[in-house]
């Protein structure tokens, strides 16, 4: 059974830094308490006996509902109506360095 790790104020400050958030000391303490409760709740999953259960990827049979990707021909004059810049039969784009 994995050891329970406490969420520290340092952890919350690091998460806030990663999310580019500025938190007050009061908010840091509130998030520390809330995240600790969430992790404690998830630790209950460690107690579940899943030894004889087969792996499951989706609980519902999931099928690809997208259409097949098939190439189609478009008339070049129709395609060249939309781009803001073009030169002859080509679309001009900004140089990316």
pLDDT in tens for each of the 97 residues of the chain?
455 678 999 999 999 999 999 999 999 999 999 999 998 888 888 888 888 888 877 777 777 778 888 888 888 888 888 888 888 888 898 888 7
pLDDT at residue 73 in the model = 86
Residue 69 lies in a domain: no
Residue ranges of E strands in 1-97: 86-87, 90-91
pLDDT at residue 81 in the model = 87
Residue 92 lies in a domain: no
| Domain containing residue 23: CATH number | 1.10.20
What's the domain count of the chain?
1
* pTM (whole model) above 0.85: no
Q: Please state, in angstroms and rounded to a whole number, the distance separating the CA atoms of residues 7 and 82.
A: 53
Q: Please state, in angstroms and rounded to a whole number, the distance separating the CA atoms of residues 95 and 97.
A: 6
Residue 73 lies in a domain: no
Phi first, then psi: what are they for 22, rounded to 5°?
-105, 120
Range of the domain at 38: 9-47
- Asked if residue 23 lies in contact with residue 68, where contact means CB atoms within 8 angstroms, the answer is no
Residue 18 lies in a domain: yes
Residue 77 lies in a domain: no
pLDDT at residue 54 in the model = 84
């Amino acid at each position: 059974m994995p050891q329970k790790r406490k969420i520290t104020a340092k952890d919350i400050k690091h998460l806030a830094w990663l999310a580019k958030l500025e938190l007050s000391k009061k908010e840091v303490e509130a998030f520390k308490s809330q995240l600790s409760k969430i992790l404690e709740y998830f630790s209950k999953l460690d107690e579940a006996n899943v030894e004889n259960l087969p792996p499951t990827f989706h609980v519902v049979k999931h099928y690809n509902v997208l259409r097949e990707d098939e190439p189609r021909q478009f008339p070049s004059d129709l395609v060249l109506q939309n781009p803001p810049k073009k030169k002859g039969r080509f679309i001009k784009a900004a140089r990316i360095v």
